[in-house]
Amino acid sequence: MSRSLHDATRNSFPERAERLTRVESEAAVDVLVTAPLLDRRSWRRWWIGVAVATLLTLVFVGAIAMILGKGIGVLGNNTSIVWGYPIANYVWWIGIGNAGTLISSLLLLTHQRWRAAINRFAEAMTLMAVAIAGLFPILHMGRPEYFYWLAPYPNVMHLWPQWRSALVWDFWAILSYLLFSIVFWYTGLIPDLATLRDRTLGRAGQLFYGALSLGWRNSARHWYAYEKYYKAMAALAVPLVCSVHSIVGLDFAAGMMPGWQEPIFPPYFVVGAMFSGFAMVVVLAALVRWGLKLEALVTMNHFDAMAKLMVMGATIMGLSYAAEWFSGWYSGRHADHSLLAFEFVGHYAPMYWAMLFCNVMACQIFWFRWARRNMAVLIVVAILVNIGMWLERILIVWNTLAHAYLPSMWSLFAPTIWDWAVTLGSLGFFALMYLIFVRVFPAISMHEVKQLVHEEVAA
Amino acid sequence: MAQIFSPRATTIAVIVLVALVSVPVVLIAYIYQVHSSPYATHVGIPVAQPIPFSHAHHVGDVGLDCRYCHTGVETSAFAGLPPTSTCMTCHSQLWTNAAMLAPVRESLAKGKPIRWNRVHDLPDYVYFDHSVHIANGVGCSSCHGDVSKMPLTRKVKPLTMGWCLSCHENPAPHLRPQAEIFNPHWKPGPDHEKEGRMLMAHYGIDKDHLTDCSVCHR
Amino acid sequence: MTRVLLACFPHPEALMIAVRRVKEEGAVPVDAFTPHPVDGLAEALGAARTPVRKWMLAGGLLGGFGAYFTEWFSAVIDLPINAGGRPLHSWEVFYLFPFEFGVLMAGIVGAAALLATSGLPRLNHPLFDVQGFERSSQDGFILAVEQPERHPERLRDMLLASEALWVREGKT
């Protein structure tokens, strides 16, 4: 019976622009979301994905073992360009995390109802991206075993963290963001885990989802407290996520280097993070909807909305770059002028131009409605944006450090195989965690979508 | 729908949730305790030596001065360990056949120094200087304890950075007059607070820069 | 432990009407169990209050001020270090850690308060014994009414007349 209802809900209703979903009943939402989880047969593509992701994860683990075992000398970092890939990857991954929180909190507070179908898997993306981001600052340390010295605790050295250091801000930003996101995500998941508990037939599944749902029984009293709590969490998450990315921006802006010491960095990093995060959400949404057959819940209307946000992001990124160039020129300092020239025509200029194309130009196609509703265009542009944003981060590190005040310090960066292994491996690790998430947990927030469907059907 | 769990499961769930928060806290507190305990600092644990040398006998019973063996303590960073010939100033005459002293005689015969095991070993990134402490009113026993009561030599202070800083931040209570530097039994007197202030002036100690990083780390 | 009648309704509107009718009849609606939050339901049941936000505020303020105190105590009192001539009490950057930590504590305390005030985790509950209760997490809107001492069958009939799919006995 569930199969036929499944097929019926998938194809029977045409997509309408004024409706966000193509589902006509609340029961159908449960069927659509839980059917793949409760069905053991249709997971062949998933296993292929897991195999590939596991291989890349092994590369990641190997690279980390190499870096921790042999030291950071195995990376391309040198005495001038001391940051290299780990910091670029850190900024890139934490930027990816941004969008999940914004979708689940900012869009909730501003009553953007389309968020309901995508917030769960976007939040999961946040968790995993932030967890990976947190690894990279540790990996780029000379003595990674002492990373916990950044926390204030009674110690036999009678020392305290240097609170004026961007490294300490980073530590707390990442830690708070990660733990807060876990709590936010898990509490959002509890009612859906209860639904799964009640739909599972096997004893093991009942025990698993039953224990994780903590005995949630959908009481009106609990729902009331839950909604108050959830909205308050959303209201806290928005300033938290902005502060986290501002602090990442301050890592650079608080350093007195040409090209870094600019007050625009914190807001520019927040927008850049949102931009790359939304691009990643587009890619994941396309994959989740294809893999779990959720076309009825995640519709082209969702992609349309995200594409609009991306074109806004791209435009603001363009303005931010322009502001950077302007303040570099207006400063009148030789070092800044020289750095600007190095960016546009120096050794890394091809990458810089590619970055400008990916981050500013590519998204402009989304001014056209057909492009916002064409899956191929969406995915290609989203991947271009993610590449562009990674280029931006590596170039922030490379350009400034390769071309700082002292010409005697000018040098270039040659990435080693371990740089690439840890970078590509982190993508595999992300994919593996994400695949496990979609296999075990409902990828879509059922109780929120049910509410949405109820409102839409009633309207 | 049938019950999935027994009532006992509820209790277990509460315990697990509480443990999720409390176990890390307790674990951190435990690790801290281990780090400051003798297990990590080796305070009070005698170190095995090739010869069971007794400070209690040589300092307490015989009354040797610290500088009789540790000759460099007033002039150099390292207090110095005595060469075998210093031992032989007495032991060429006394206990010449004692089995316990066989390694000393062997050392003299072969011209190879005795390999003592370090009791007080600071990390290499700490530039500790004995002479500056001796010259500024810090007595031996402030850090090494009353060795005249130690049959086997052991640490009495943890030598952690926090312990160093506890004196560098407020040296006055630990200072003593020049005549008392090598007195292993010295204890601060009842009005030592006033004396400490006078000694600070006497030795010309500038407290403001005693906790600068570069004082100990170069 | 209250003996209740549980009535399952197909949609939230029917549930809301039933709550009103039950109250008009003089019976006491104890609780309701719905797959998603229903606007005005908690208010109709007289259960529209929760201390969760107060706990969040308390946790956030305590975390934030605790963190600031840690910074001030460590940088001004316990280990005053001259870092490039900056003031010991550099409040201009000292708010960053308290902000992050305060938000984190508000979230953690809020989640703990949500669970504690809801009596969760509660893996075993008499309601789970009721046949059909599992619909409440899917598509059933279940109302729990205190079983009256006299004429429980009148209440049962009234609930069935208000579109209830089924009415069963249970305990909360």
CB nearest to A198's CB, from B1, B10, B163: B1
Cβ proximity of A450 and C11 under 8 Å: no
Interface membership of B17 toward C (CB under 8 Å): yes
Q: Give me B161's structure tokens.
A: 């950075």
Q: Do A163 and C12 touch (CB under 8 A)?
A: no
Per DSSP, helices labelled H in A102-219 are 107-109, 119-139, 166-199, 203-212
Residues near A372 by Cβ (< 8 Å), separated by ≥ 6? A303, A304, A307, A308, A366, A378
Q: Which chains touch B (3 or more CB pairs under 8 A)?
A: A, C
* Phi, psi dihedrals of residue A78, rounded to the nearest 5°: -130, -175
Domain contains B199 = yes
* Rounded distance between C-alpha atoms, residue A360 and residue A371, angstroms: 16
* Rounded distance between C-alpha atoms, residue A209 and residue A289, angstroms: 23
Domain contains B104 = no
Q: Tell me how many domains chain B contains.
A: 2
Domain contains B115 = no
Please list the ranges in chain B whose pLDDT falls under 70.
Answer: 1
* DSSP secondary structure, A213-255, as one string: TTT---BHHHHHHHHHHHHHHHHHHHHHHHHHHHHHHHHHHTS
| Smallest CA–CA distance from B14 into chain A, residue | A214
Report CA dihedral (A100, A106, A108, A114) to the nearest 10 degrees: -60
Q: What is the pLDDT of residue C131?
A: 86
Give me the residues paired with residue C167 across strands.
C7
Interface membership of A159 toward B (CB under 8 Å): yes
CB nearest to C124's CB, from B1, B7, B21: B7
By residue range, what is the domain housing residue B139? 67-81+120-218
Among residues A356, A245, A291, A336, the alpha carbon closest in space to that of A33 is found at: A291
Q: What is the pLDDT of residue A354?
A: 94
CA distances from C122 to A64, A182, A197, C108 (A): 42, 21, 14, 19
Residue at token pair 């959720």: A294
Q: How many residues does chain B have?
A: 218
| Smallest CA–CA distance from A205 into chain B, residue | B4
CA A209 to chain CA mean position, Å: 26
Q: What is the pLDDT of residue A3?
A: 42
Amino acid in position A290? W
* Phi, psi dihedrals of residue A330, rounded to the nearest 5°: -70, -25
* Rounded distance between C-alpha atoms, residue A27 and residue A445, angstroms: 14
CB nearest to A214's CB, from C11, C56, C115: C115
Among residues A255, A231, A193, A240, the alpha carbon closest in space to that of A401 is found at: A255
Domain contains B91 = no
Q: What is the enclosing helix (H) or strand (E) of C3? A: strand C3-9
Cβ proximity of B38 and B47 under 8 Å: no
| Smallest CA–CA distance from B31 into chain A, residue | A155
* DSSP secondary structure, A273-340, as one string: HHHHHHHHHHHHHHHHHHHTT-TTTS-HHHHHHHHHHHHHHHHHHHHHHHHHHHHHHHT--HHHHHHH
* DSSP secondary structure, B125-173, as one string: T----HHHHHHTTB-HHHHH--GGG-SS--B-S---HHHHHHHHHS-GG
Q: Give me B83's structure tokens.
A: 């060469």
Cβ proximity of A184 and A233 under 8 Å: yes
Cβ proximity of B184 and B147 under 8 Å: yes
Chains A–B, number of C-beta pairs less than 8 Å apart: 38
Q: What is the pLDDT of residue B206?
A: 87
Q: What is the pLDDT of residue A25?
A: 74
Together in a domain, B185 and B140: yes
Q: What is the pLDDT of residue A7?
A: 44
Per-residue pLDDT 10s for chain A (459 aa) are: 344 444 444 443 444 555 667 777 777 777 777 777 777 667 888 889 999 999 999 999 999 999 999 988 899 888 888 888 999 999 999 999 888 888 888 888 888 878 888 888 898 999 999 999 999 999 988 888 888 888 888 888 888 999 998 889 989 999 999 999 999 999 999 999 998 888 887 888 889 998 999 989 899 899 999 999 999 999 999 999 999 999 999 988 888 888 888 888 899 999 999 999 989 999 999 998 888 888 888 888 888 888 998 999 999 999 999 999 999 899 888 889 999 999 999 899 999 999 999 999 999 999 999 889 889 999 999 999 999 999 999 999 998 888 888 888 888 888 999 999 999 999 999 999 999 998 888 888 888 888 888 877 776
Q: Do B161 and A156 touch (CB under 8 A)?
A: yes
**Cis peptide bond N-terminal to C121, omega within 30:** yes
Q: Do C120 and A447 touch (CB under 8 A)?
A: no
Domain contains B51 = no
* Phi, psi dihedrals of residue B206, rounded to the nearest 5°: -95, 105
Closest-CA distance, A225 to chain B, in angstroms, reads 19
CA distances from B21 to A131, B29, C55, C86, C121 (A): 19, 13, 17, 37, 15
For chain C, list the domains and their CATH numbers.
3-49+124-171 (3.30.70), 52-118 (no CATH)
Q: What is the pLDDT of residue C129?
A: 85
Question: Terminal CA-to-CA distance of chain A, rounded, Å?
Answer: 28
Q: What is the pLDDT of residue A279?
A: 92
Q: What is the pLDDT of residue A4?
A: 41
CB nearest to B14's CB, from C79, C121, C133: C121
Sheet of strand C29-33, all strands in order from the earlier edge strand to the far edge: C29-33, C141-146, C3-9, C166-171
Together in a domain, B12 and B75: no
Q: Which one of B4, B5, B21 makes the best mutation probe of the C interface by having the most chain C beta carbons within 10 Å?
A: B5
pTM of the model: 0.89
Domain contains B46 = no
* Rounded distance between C-alpha atoms, residue A144 and residue A138, angstroms: 5
Q: A2-458 maps to which CATH number? A: 1.20.1630.10
Q: Give me A31's structure tokens.
A: 């069927």
Among residues A2, A22, A18, A1, the alpha carbon closest in space to that of A10 is found at: A22
On the 0-12 / 13-18 / 19+ scale of CB atoms within 10 A, A314 is: buried
Per-10-residue mean pLDDT for chain C, 172 residues long? 86 88 84 89 85 94 95 90 86 91 95 91 87 86 85 82 84 80
Among residues A20, A453, A457, A224, the alpha carbon closest in space to that of C38 is found at: A224
* Rounded distance between C-alpha atoms, residue A262 and residue A257, angstroms: 9
| Smallest CA–CA distance from C70 into chain A, residue | A152
| Smallest CA–CA distance from C96 into chain A, residue | A169
